[in-house]
């Protein structure tokens, strides 16, 4: 089982492709000015929306509530270990999204 950090940055809206557990996904991250939080969408290989509006917060498996059998787990990591949530300026620098592959 391997861990990897997803590419993240603090641009207001970002789209990137990533392979997780052998499957291709498009990840969108976006900053919400209203509640000053980051959100993420996960799009599957066939451009079908798997999950939309996942709030990126610390301390929980971000995709755990969706019980995605073909995916492992995803966490927002505070590299300074202060266990806060990311703000606009520090997402992608101090705060990163880590993906842990599913158990074989």
Query: What is the secondary structure of 9-75 as a DSSP string?
Result: --SSEEEEEEEETTEEEEEEEEEETTTTEEEEEEE-TTS-EEEEEEE--BSS-TTGGGT-TT--EEE
Question: Is the Cβ–Cβ distance between 47 and 22 less than 8 Å?
Answer: no
Q: Show contacts of 92-95: CB within 8 Å, 24+ apart.
A: 92/8, 92/9, 92/10, 93/10, 95/8, 95/58
User: How confident is the model at residue 1, as a pLDDT?
Assistant: 57
Indicate yes or no: pTM above 0.85: yes
Q: What is the pLDDT along the chain (104 residues), one digit of tens a residue?
A: 578 888 888 889 999 999 998 888 999 999 999 999 999 999 987 767 788 999 999 989 999 888 777 789 999 999 998 888 999 999 988 999 999 998 76
């Amino acid at each position: 089982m391997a861990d990897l950090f997803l590419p993240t940055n603090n641009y207001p809206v970002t789209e990137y492709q990533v392979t997780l557990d052998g499957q291709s996904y498009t990840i969108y991250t976006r900053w919400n000015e209203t509640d000053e939080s980051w959100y993420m969408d996960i799009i599957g290989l066939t451009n079908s929306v798997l999950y939309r509006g996942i709030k990126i917060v610390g301390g929980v498996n971000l995709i755990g509530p969706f019980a995605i059998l073909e995916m492992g787990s995803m966490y927002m990591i505070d590299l300074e270990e202060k266990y806060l949530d990311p703000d606009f300026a520090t997402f992608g620098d101090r705060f990163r999204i880590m993906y842990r592959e599913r158990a074989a």
